[in-house]
Amino acid sequence: MHAGSGLVVASNRGPVAWERQDGELVARRGFGGLVTALGGALQHEPGTWVSLALGEEDREVAAEHDGEPFEVDAGEASYRLRLLDVGDRFDPYYNRVSNRLLWFTVHTLWGAPYEPSGVGWRPDWHYGYEPVNERVAQVVAEEADSGSEIFLQDYHLCTTGRSVRAALPGAKILHYLHTPWVGPDSLQSLPDPVVEGVLRGLLAADVVGFSSPAWCHAFRRCSAEILGAGVDGESVLLDGRRTVVADFVLGVDESQLAESVGSDAVLRAGEELDDELAGRRLLLRSDRTDLSKNILRGLHAYELLLEHRPEHRGRVMHYALLNPSRQDVPEYRAYLDACREAAARIQERFGEESLRFEIASDYPRTLAALQRYDVLLVNPVLDGTNLVAKEGAVLNTRDGVLVLSRRAGAAEVLAEAALLVNPYDAEEQADALDQALTMDPGGRATRATALHAGACRGAPEEWFAAQRHLLRATVARRR
Ligand code: G6P
pLDDT of 1: 53
* Across 78-97, average pLDDT: 97
In a domain, 58, yes or no: yes
Ligand 1 mean position to 349 CA, how many Å?
A: 35
Query: Out of 19-28, 30-39, 257-266, 294-303, which region has the weakest mean confidence (pLDDT)?
Result: 30-39
pLDDT at 4 > cutoff 50: no
Same domain, 203 and 311: no
Q: Is 251 a pocket residue for ligand 1 (Cβ < 6 Å)? A: no
Ligand 1 mean position to 183 CA, how many Å?
A: 22
Grade residue 79 by pLDDT with cuts at 50, 70 and 90. very high
Same domain, 353 and 317: yes
Out of 36, 104, 178, 388, mutate this one to test ligand 1's pocket (max ligand atoms within 8 Å of CB): namely 178
pLDDT of 31: 78
pLDDT at 41 > cutoff 70: no
CA dihedral sign, ordered 384, 385, 386, 387: negative
pLDDT of 169: 95
Q: Is 34 a pocket residue for ligand 1 (Cβ < 6 Å)? A: yes
In a domain, 2, yes or no: no
pLDDT of 54: 96
pLDDT of 5: 52
pLDDT of 3: 47
Same domain, 412 and 465: no
CATH code: domain of residue 344: 3.40.50.2000
pLDDT at 203 > cutoff 90: yes
* Across 429-448, average pLDDT: 98
Same domain, 283 and 418: yes
pLDDT at 234 > cutoff 90: yes
pLDDT at 327 > cutoff 80: yes
pLDDT of 15: 93
Q: How many structural domains is the chain composed of?
A: 2
pLDDT at 299 > cutoff 60: yes
pLDDT of 146: 84
Q: Strand order of the sheet with strand 70-74? A: 70-74, 77-84, 46-52, 2-10, 149-153, 172-176, 207-210, 241-247, 235-238, 230-232
- Average pLDDT of the residues of the chain: 96
Of 302 and 76, the structure prediction assigns the larger pLDDT to 302
Same domain, 304 and 401: yes
Out of 16, 29, 288, 381, mutate this one to test ligand 1's pocket (max ligand atoms within 8 Å of CB): namely 288
Same domain, 34 and 48: yes
pLDDT of 476: 96
In a domain, 346, yes or no: yes
Same domain, 170 and 274: no
Ligand 1 mean position to 383 CA, how many Å?
A: 12
CA-nearest residue for atom 16, ligand 1, is 13
Same domain, 296 and 279: yes
Domain enclosing residue 80, as ranges: 7-250+461-478
Same domain, 108 and 135: yes
Same domain, 80 and 218: yes
In a domain, 227, yes or no: yes
3-state secondary structure 412-470: HHHCCCCEEECCCCHHHHHHHHHHHHCCCHHHHHHHHHHHHHHHHCCCHHHHHHHHHHH
Same domain, 344 and 434: yes
* Across 158-162, average pLDDT: 99
In a domain, 1, yes or no: no
Distance CA 315, CA 292 (A): 29
Grade residue 364 by pLDDT with cuts at 50, 70 and 90. very high
Q: Is 13 a pocket residue for ligand 1 (Cβ < 6 Å)? A: yes
Same domain, 325 and 273: yes
Q: Is 293 a pocket residue for ligand 1 (Cβ < 6 Å)? A: no
CA dihedral sign, ordered 90, 92, 96, 98: negative
CA separation, residue 55 to residues 16, 17, 49, 134 (Å): 11, 8, 18, 21
Q: Is 287 a pocket residue for ligand 1 (Cβ < 6 Å)? A: no
Q: Is 250 a pocket residue for ligand 1 (Cβ < 6 Å)? A: no
In a domain, 397, yes or no: yes
